[in-house]
Amino acid sequence: MNIRFRGWRLALSLFSGLALALAFPNYNLPLLGWVSLAGLLFASLGAGVGHAALCGFLYGAVFYTVSLSWVYTVLRQYGPLPLWQAAGVMGLLVAAASLFCALFAVAVAWMAGRSTRLTLLAAPFLWVALELGRSRLPDIGFPWNLLGYTAAGNLALVQIAAVTGIYGLSLLVAAYNALLVWTLCAPSSGARRRATAFWLASTAALAAVALLGGRLVPQAQSTHVAHLVQTNLPQALDYPANWDALHAEDMAELEAISISAGRIRTGSSAEDQPGLIIWPEVPAPFSLQQPGFAQRVARIAQAAHTNFLFGEVDWKPAAGGRPTPYNSAALLGPSGREEFLYDKIYLVPFSEYVPWRDFLWFAGDLTGLIGDFGFGMHYAVGELPGGRFSVVICYEAVFPDHVRQFVRNGAGLLINISNDGWFGHTSAPAQHLAQARVRAVENRRWLLRDTNNGFTVSVDPYGRVVARLAPYIRGRLDAPYGFREDRTLFTRWGDWVAWLSVVLSVCLLIAALRYRPKISALRTP
C-alpha cells in the first residue's frame, strides 16, 4: 500500500471524527452521526491492523478533543491548572477514550481480511460492546456522548430507548453506517443493487418515522407543579469565612423567591397538600451542619409550608473519626425537619476525587486542590404527596443503569439537581441536558432538572421538554410533573442490548476464525 493511499485513509478518519463531534451540541448537526462511523469503517476495511489502529485512534482523538473541549476549559478556569497540566489531563482523557475507537478499527481490519460481509454485520455490535466497556471502566467510566445520542434528539426515535436504552439507539445508528458502507463497496454488481435497494428502503423508513412518528407519541398529563429555583450564584474555587455576609442580598432574594413560590397552589386538589421547592446541586458553601444555612432552609420550608429539596455538603465521620464530605441532596418537610437524604454515588473524576492519584505526577496541582468526597452507597427513595421520588446528582444522569436502579427501587419521579456553572459558556450544559432527557424516556418517568445557571427544565416521560427557564438568570420555573408506577423493558432488563452486543461480538469474532485470510475484494478508490 503506497504512502498516498495511507494518507487518504488517515484524512478520512480525521474528517469522520470531526463529523461525529459536530453531531453533538453546540454544533447540533445530528445527521452527521448517521454517516460519520461509515468513514472510519471505510478507512479500516482493507487496511493493515497497525494502520487501522492509527485510523481509529485519530478518529477518536478528533471527536473527543472537539466535543469535550469544555474539559480543558474547566481545568484551566477552575483547576486552575497551568496550560501544560490542563493539557496533560485533557490528553489523558482523550487518549483513554480514543483507545476504544482504535480497538474497533483493529477488529474491523482483522475481520475484513477474512470476510467483508461478516465484518459489516459485526461492526454495529462491536461498536456498542466497546461503548459499554468505556461506560463501565472502573473509576473512570465515561458514557458521555454515546453514538445513540445523535438520534435521541428526535421525539419518535428516542422512544426506542424505553425498550433498549441508549445502547439500542447506538446500535441503530451504527447499523445504518455499516449498511451505507456495504452499499458503497459491495464486491459485485448484484450485491450492490440489493444493498442499494435495502439502504434506500431503510433510509425512507427512518425518515418517515423521524418526520411523522412524533405525532403518535402520547401526551403526558401532569398532576403536580414543582418550583425549581435557578440560583445563579457565582462559581468560586474556595469560599471565604464571611461568604454569607458577602452574599446576604443574594440569599435574601433566593429566600423570597422560594417562599413566594411555595405559597402557590395549583388547583383544588393541591390546596391541602404541601408543594415542592427545589434548589440545585450545592452551588456555594451550603451544609446543614452550618447553623446559619440550616436555619435559613428550615425557615423557607416552614414559611412556605412546603417540601424543600436542595443540594448540600453533608459531613460524616469516616474511619479514625476524620469528617468526610458527601455531595448530598436533602429534603425538609413543611415542619423544617429533614425527611430524606441522598449521598451521591457516582463522583466526577478529576473534580470530586482524583483516580489513580499516585500515578498522575503531571497533575500535582489538581490533586492538591480537589477535595476528596465520600462515595454514597444507597439508592435512596423518598416520599412526597402523591408518590415516591429519587434524586440523581449532576454527572450521575449520564449513567443509564445507575438511574434505572432508583426506578427499580420504587421511584415514580426522577429529580436531577446539578451545578453546570463549572462548565461556563461551553457545550457541556447542553450535552448534559440531552443525555439526562433520555433517562426520562428509558424509564418512562417525569424528570425535574434544576441547575445553578442552566438548563433548568421539566421533561415528560416521553422526552419532551415541557417547561424551561432561560439560562444564566436567577428565577423560578413552575415545572409540571407527575408520578408513574409502570416499568419499561429497559427498567426491568437494563443494558440488555449492550450485553447482547458483547455476546454477539465474541461469537462473530470466533466465526471469523473459520475464514482463511484473503485479499479484500472491496471496491476502493
- Residue 344 annotated to the active site: yes
Specify the DSSP class assigned to residue 46.
Answer: T
Q: Which entry of 55, 185, 281, 442 is annotated as an active-site residue? A: 281
Query: Residue 346 and residue 250: Cα distance in Å, rounded?
Result: 30
Whether the CB-CB separation of 365 and 85 falls below 8 Å is answered with: yes
Q: Which entry of 344, 352, 396, 442 is annotated as an active-site residue? A: 344
Any residues with CB less than 8 A from the CB of 402 and at least 6 apart, and which?
Answer: 345, 346, 392, 396
Whether the CB-CB separation of 281 and 394 falls below 8 Å is answered with: yes
Query: Residue 338 and residue 382: Cα distance in Å, rounded?
Result: 11
- Residue 316 annotated to the active site: no
Residue whose C-alpha is closest to residue 129's, from 493, 396, 397, 497: 497
Return the C-alpha cell found at 73.
476549559
Whether the CB-CB separation of 404 and 444 falls below 8 Å is answered with: no
Residue at grid coordinates 476525587:
353
- Residue 271 annotated to the active site: no
Count the Cβ atoms, other than its own, within 10 Å of residue 260.
13
CB-count burial class (<10 Å; 0-12, 13-18, 19+) for 322: exposed
Rounded to the nearest angstrom, the gap between the alpha carbon of residue 342 and the centroid of all alpha carbons in its chain is 20
Whether the CB-CB separation of 42 and 72 falls below 8 Å is answered with: no
Specify the DSSP class assigned to residue 394.
Answer: G
Query: Residue 328 and residue 63: Cα distance in Å, rounded?
Result: 33
Q: Which entry of 55, 101, 185, 394 is annotated as an active-site residue? A: 394
Active-site residues, by number, are: 281, 344, 394
